[in-house]
Amino acid sequence: MRKAIFKVMVIIVLITLVLTGGIMAWQIYNLKGNIDRSSKAANEEAVRISADAISEQISARLSENARGNAEGADVVFADLSKAITLIAEGAEDMYRDPKRYGRAKVAEPKRSMMGKGIVAQVVYSPGVDKNDPEIAKEQALIGNLQGVITALYDRFPQLASAYIATESGIMIMSEEVSESRFDTDGSVLPFEARERGWYIGAKESGKLYFTGVFKDADSDNTGIVAAIPVKKDGEVVAVVGAGMFLDAVSELVKNADIGKDGTSCIINDQGSVIFSTRDSGILKTDDGTAVDIREGDIGELKDVIDAALSGSADVAVLPLDGENSYVAYSPMNTVGWSFFSIMPEETVQEPTMLLKQTLGESNEARSKAMDASMATMGIILLVFGVVIVLVVLILSNVFAGTLVKPIVALTHSVAGLEGDDLEFEWNMETHDEIQTLANSFGSMTERMKNYIKNIQEITAEKERIGAELNVATKIQADMLPRNFSDISVKKEVDLYAVMDPAKEVGGDFYDFFLIDDDHLALVMSDVSGKGVPAALFMVIAKTLLKNHLQSGATVAEALTATNDQLSENNEEMLFVTSWIGIVDLKTGEVKFADAGHETTLILHPDGNVEEIVPKKKKMPLACMEGIPYLEDNFTVKDGDIIFLYTDGVPEATSASEELYGMERLEAKLAKCVGMSPEELLKAVRKDVDEFVGTAPQFDDLTMLGCKITL
């Protein structure tokens, strides 16, 4: 009986041990499965969030980098274009009314001038008789431009040469005198400018023309020529041009901040890479053969370059030199080129891959720890099984409960982790491998929560910067007067104005205020450039103009004084086109002065649109000190509307790169007869928006309408 009982007890103990071991093994196996599934889901979610966030941030950073560098590079060409355009307008005025100008002598180059720096000099085409009275007369007339041409070097240090060449064979240039100007006998060699590409291009196009990029024969520097025709009675009589080295653009490409693996390049309107930080591959700098890289076998690259050169800005992912890369591009509108910022996809996804690797290693370590725990438990059961058989008969139930309980609790805690819910709870103290495993898993979930928190903080910082720019936009808007009803209380005046910046803040501004009961001041100005620098310069210019006008200065005195003050320490070379006028509300006489601004338009009650052209066009403010501005005048009649605007209106560009233009603007104004200034401005803005369509706004758009009742 004892043996039977003992046998039964032994069998019971063995069965109990087997069942206990089986239950433990099943629980551990179940726990491992839950941990693996939860870890895999959590890992995939963390990797997905990381990949999406990093891709979005890199795309935004590359896009902003491309746009900022494109604008930075393009401003050089835009400023040079405006400068030579002003010179060409001055030349046209000379040809149109030569009696208003004196005669200026320009010396031919001499060897004694060599090494004297930049000097004005005159050369002639082959066969031109410089002693011919007509030739001498024309040379003396355009000689008045030598100072303005030479002054370009102060504004553009990278300038190589500046000149005006005429159809009659005269060329006045400003550059250093070199040995190439003389033959072996020391006589001045003739120079045929009319056969040069820049002359022919400007003459045939009839507008501002940029040559292709070329290598300077003396310095091996890269350069480009901008030229614009000078017309008299609709015929080209001369061409103003300026050659400029592109060292600053090359340095801008080299210094573009895109990280250690990022690269930058500029592609011209012919599809050639003219500047690049790559030493090899399809986007390396062209070797001078002017290869159009769109003719290669990468169709996606061709589509991206075509889109970029059409004026689009975007980010694409495409294969480059054997690896996928993020490619951001933005247009350089003045020259029709595009700036590219490139980042390898492998570099972009490197943090995500590192996170994936780290999580994988953590999972592997955790799996090994669990396997070790299972092995340890098996050995303990095997070694002490026989010794504790009798004890197990009494304590098996307690032992099983004590051992299994934390495993079940850990299993439930792990199974509760799902999606974004990474709150791991463990309140038991077992002081064994289960505790170690629980601590390890808790540490892992904390690291994952911290990583997601960091991503959320980065997103919040981006939103904060956007909010601050929104505040800056509101501050700038608040600086412009909007109390139209206060001005319109006077029965003689109905006034309305709008300003829409191209960026968060802009450089355009308008102003209006009563100097006394009978005189109303109107101001419309445009600061070169965009963004925060232009906005700050705008604040200064607006304040100076208003102070001078309110202190009793005439419109000419106000522009002259403001120009001198803005020219001081203007190291950023910003300038301001401006139109200011004072309206006599009793007589309708308007005294005005113009500093290189757009032509003022008058809408008469009969639908006629009149252009108010100043007697003499003057340079914009802040170009140079000592410019005397002139006062002009005109008279408005009862019901006339004075329409002031910035170049953002006629130069608004559609997706097909067509300008809105003055003809379209004047035609629209003529259809707005009988409207109030507010209705007129809204109608013009609607017409501009419908014309532009989906194309982005590249310039500030500002308008002011003032209806006078006498």
Beta strands 701-708 and 641-645, pairing class: antiparallel
pLDDT(192) > 60:
yes
Q: pLDDT: is 602 or 343 the higher one?
A: 602
The rounded radius of gyration (Å) of the Cα atoms in the chain is: 38
pLDDT at position 34 is 72
Whether residue 93 is predicted with pLDDT greater than 90 in this model: the reply is yes
At 159, is the secondary structure helix, strand, or coil?
strand
**Per-residue buried b or exposed e for 321-333, using 16+ beta carbons within 10 Å of the residue's own CB:** eeeebbbbbbbbb
Strands of 84-211 (E only): list them: 118-124, 159-166, 170-176, 209-210
Residue range 284-306: average pLDDT?
A: 81
Confidence bin at 75 (pLDDT 50/70/90): confident
Going 275 to 277 to 283 to 287, the CA torsion angle's sign is positive
Element (H, E) at 333: none
Burial zone of 620 (CB within 10 Å; 0-12 exposed, 13-18 middle, 19+ buried): buried
125 three-class SS = coil
**Neighbouring C-beta atoms of residue 160, cutoff 10 Å:** 20
Tens of pLDDT, residue by residue over 374-389, are 677 668 867 866 676 6
For residue 690, count other CB atoms closer than 10 A to its CB: 9
Domain ranges within the chain, ordered by starting residue: 2-78+357-451, 97-248, 256-348, 480-708
Whether the predicted pLDDT of 562 surpasses 70: yes
% pLDDT > 90, the chain: 44
DSSP-assigned states of every residue in 597-656? PPPEEEE-TTS-EEEE--SS--PPBTS-TTPPP--EEEE--TT-EEEEE-TTTTT-B-TT
Q: What is the mean pLDDT of residues 392-408?
A: 60
Side chain identity at residue 607, one-letter code: G
**Residue 514: predicted pLDDT:** 93
How confident is the model over 434-473, as pLDDT tens digits?
778 777 777 777 777 777 778 777 766 766 655 555 555 5
Architecture (CATH level 2) of domain 480-708: 4-Layer Sandwich (3.60)
Q: Kindly state the percentage of the chain with pLDDT values over 70.
A: 84
Q: How many CB atoms lie within 10 A of CB 258?
A: 19
Give me the pLDDT at residue 524, please: 96
Has residue 678 got a pLDDT over 90? yes
Task: Give the start-end residues of each E strand in 585-683.
Answer: 589-595, 600-603, 609-612, 632-635, 641-645
Do 97-248 and 480-708 fold alike per CATH? Answer: no
Residue predicted with more confidence, 593 or 476: 593
Measure the CA–CA gap between 163 and 198, rounded to whole angstroms: 11
The residue to which tokens 């001055």 are assigned: 90
Q: Please give the DSSP secondary-structure letter assigned to residue 34.
A: H
Q: Which amino acid is at 454?
A: N
Distance between CA atoms of 31 and 151, rounded to whole angstroms? 82
Contact present, 507 and 529 (Cβ < 8 Å): yes
CA distance 572 to 570: 6
Structure confidence at residue 168 (pLDDT): 95
Structure confidence at residue 436 (pLDDT): 81
pLDDT score at 37: 73
Q: Give the C-alpha separation, 155 to 620, whole Å.
A: 13
- The pair of three-digit structure tokens given for residue 478, joined into one six-digit string: 């608040």
With 70 as the cut, is the pLDDT of residue 35 above it? no
| Single-letter residue type at 247 | D
Q: What is the mean pLDDT of the segment spanning 603-628? A: 93
Return the sign of the alpha-carbon dihedral for residues 198, 201, 207, 212.
negative
The DSSP letter of residue 293 is G
Tokens coding 709: 């009742």
Is residue 123 within 8 A of residue 181, CB to CB? The reply is yes
Higher per-residue pLDDT: 167 or 393: 167
CB 669 within 8 A of CB 684: yes
Which residues is 120 bridged to in the sheet?
Answer: 174
Q: In one letter, which amino acid is 188?
A: V
Of 49-63, 406-420, 480-494, 629-643, least confident by mean pLDDT is: 406-420
**Residue 391's pLDDT band (cuts 50, 70, 90):** low
pTM of this structure: 0.46
Q: What is the 3-state secondary structure (H, E, C) of 543-594?
A: HHHHHHHHCCCCHHHHHHHHHHHHHCCCCCCCCEEEEEEEEECCCCEEEEEE
What does the mean pLDDT of the chain come to? 84
Cβ-contact 685, 704 below 8 angstroms: no
Residue 258 has pLDDT above 60, yes or no: yes
**Is a pLDDT exceeding 60 seen at residue 158?**
yes
- Tokens read off for 159: 């300038």
Residue 287 tokens read as: 């070797």
Q: Which residue has the higher pLDDT, 612 or 213?
A: 612
Angle separating helix axes 389-415 and 2-96, nearest 10 degrees: 20
User: What pLDDT is stored for residue 212 in this prediction?
Assistant: 83
Superfamily of domain 97-248: PAS domain (3.30.450.20)
As beta bridge partners, residue 633 has 591
Tell me the C-alpha distance between 487 and 520, whole Å. Answer: 9
Tokens 């064994």 appear where?
432
| Residue range 499-515, pLDDT digits in tens | 988 776 677 899 999 99
E-assigned strands of 299-414? 314-320, 323-332, 337-344
Q: To 10 degrees, what angle do helices 247-254 and 2-96 make?
A: 170
Start-to-end C-alpha separation, the chain: 133
Query: What's the rounded mean pLDDT across residues 146-166?
Result: 90
Burial of 670 (0-12, 13-18, 19+ CB in 10 A): middle
pLDDT at 399 over 60: no
Place of tokens 């090359």: 250
Strand partners, 330: 339
User: Quick one: which of 539, 479, 483 has its CA closest to 514?
Assistant: 483
Mean pLDDT to the nearest integer, 489-496? 84
- What CA–CA distance (Å, rounded) separates 200 from 206? 10
The CATH code of the domain at 256-348 is 3.30.450.20
CB atoms within 10 A of CB 148: 20
- Supply the DSSP symbol for 703: E
Output the 3-class SS for 241-292: EEEEECHHHHHHHHCCCCCCCCEEEEECCCCCEEEECCCCCCCCCCCCCCCC
Going by C-alpha positions, the residue among 485, 486, 492, 489 that lies closest to residue 588 is 492
DSSP SS3 for 516: strand
> Residue 513: its pLDDT value, please?
93
pLDDT at residue 1 tops 60:
no
- Say what the pLDDT of residue 282 is: 85
Which residues are within 8 A (CB) of 606 and not within 5 positions of it... i.e. 6 or more apart? 673
Whether residue 2 is predicted with pLDDT greater than 50 in this model: the reply is no
CA distances from 598 to 120, 504, 543, 643, 653 (A): 31, 24, 21, 11, 17
The total of other beta-carbon atoms located within 10 Å of residue 534's CB is 24
Question: Is 218:225 a contact under the CB 8 Å cutoff?
Answer: no
Q: Are 582 and 591 in contact (CB under 8 A)?
A: yes
